[in-house]
Amino acid sequence: MSSGNPKPVANSGRLLVTVLGSGTSMGVPTLACQCDVCHSSDLHDKRTRPSVLLSYNGRNVVIDTTPDFREQALRARITHLDAILYTHAHADHILGLDDIRPFNAKQKSPIPVYASQETLSILRRTFAYVFEPQSAESSIPQVKLHTLTGEFELFGARVIPVPAQHGPLTVHGFRIGSVAYLTDFSSIPDSSKVLLCNLDHLILDALRYTPHPMHSTVDQSLALVRELAPRRAWFTHICHDLGHEGTNAKLPANVRLAFDGLEFGVSL
Ligand SMILES: [Zn+2]
Ligand SMILES: [Zn+2]
Ligand SMILES: [Zn+2]
């Protein structure tokens, strides 16, 4: 783990995906838990909160800013941050926003944020000190808010928001080129499935085996992988029910648990 050298930049036309965090909202190990996975010596079982970094055309884009964002950015050697996409406004996906301040200071500019209207309104409420500052004496994150209204161009790539249901909430996954990131969902409407065909890599929620009202299970996500047929699938938002090695041994060859620090390249 070094923050000394900048992260290598992906070649033009290539997108480098880094899984910054693969864990569920409480992280793994989970505080005060004595289970085998929380006490595992396998580093793949150390899961910070869920996020990915997309590096392309010399730009770094993160999906979500988790409570672990600072540690994740250090580990991934992120030396500049060009945009943030938000899937939804649950605490495990937004609470690291304050830690973008060093990037603002270095880049001397606000960072563009893309999110649904509903997510933006929760961001404004949760981070009232950012959007309704009473005092300019301490530094605050500088962002430029953009409401998701459909596909958009970002640094020369097409970003396709993919609506999904997370229990009663509508959340967004994102597709760029031949990769899609789809965390925190319980079901995908047919109108979104058509946005997910011909993928090289699909990163998707698979919390555990036991059913959950807000999250897809391993079996539900395996069924979705069979239906959408990406070349490779990676499960994320993983809780401590799933040990890395033992779970992987039971999965089909093209499906694996994601892990913090996983990197792969795709064409844009
Ligand atoms: Zn979550
Ligand atoms: Zn545990
Ligand atoms: Zn959530």
pLDDT tens-place string over residues 23-37: 999 999 999 999 999
Q: What is the pLDDT of residue 8?
A: 58
Which ligand is closest in space to the CA of residue 168? 3
Ligand 2 center to 29 CA (angstroms): 6
SS3 91: helix
DSSP of 193-261:
HGGGSS-SEEEEE---SS--SSS--HHHHHHHHHHH--SEEEEESB-TTS-HHHHHTTS-TTEEE--TT
Closest ligand to the CA of 238? 1
Cα separation, 185 vs 251, in Å, equals 20
Q: What is the DSSP letter of 110?
A: P
Q: Write down the pTM of the prediction.
A: 0.95
CB 196 within 8 A of CB 202: yes
Report the C-alpha gap between 88 and 164 in whole angstroms: 11
Q: Rounded to the nearest 10 degrees, how much is the dihedral formed by the CA atoms of 153, 159, 163, 167?
A: -120
Query: Could you tell me if 69 and 102 are in contact, meaning their C-beta atoms sit under 8 angstroms apart?
Result: no
CA of 60 to the centre of ligand 2 (A): 33
Place of tokens 């760029």: 176
d(CA 77, CA 179): 22
Q: Which helix (H) or strand (E) holds 182?
A: strand 179-182
C-alpha of residue 207 to centroid of ligand 1, in Å: 10
Structure tokens at 259: 């892990």
Rounded to the nearest whole angstrom, what is the distance from the C-alpha of residue 169 to the centroid of ligand 3? 9
* The pLDDT of residue 9: 58
Ligand closest to CA 186: 3
Cα(87) to centroid(ligand 3), Å: 8
Residues 6+ apart with CB under 8 A from 240: 24, 28, 29, 30, 33, 35, 37, 38
Q: How far is the CA of 25 from the centre of ligand 1 (A)?
A: 5
- Hunting for tokens 């250090």 — which residue is that? 74
Nearest-ligand number for the alpha carbon of 240? 2
**What pLDDT was estimated at residue 5?**
64
Tell me what pLDDT residue 10 has: 61
Centre of ligand 3 from the C-alpha of residue 6, in Å: 31
Mean pLDDT by 10 residues, the chain (268 residues): 55 90 98 98 98 98 98 98 98 98 98 98 96 80 97 98 98 97 98 98 98 98 98 98 98 98 95
Expressed in angstroms and rounded, the spacing between residue 187 Cα and the centre of ligand 1 is 15
Q: Which of 238, 243, 228, 232 is nearest to 205 (CA)?
A: 238
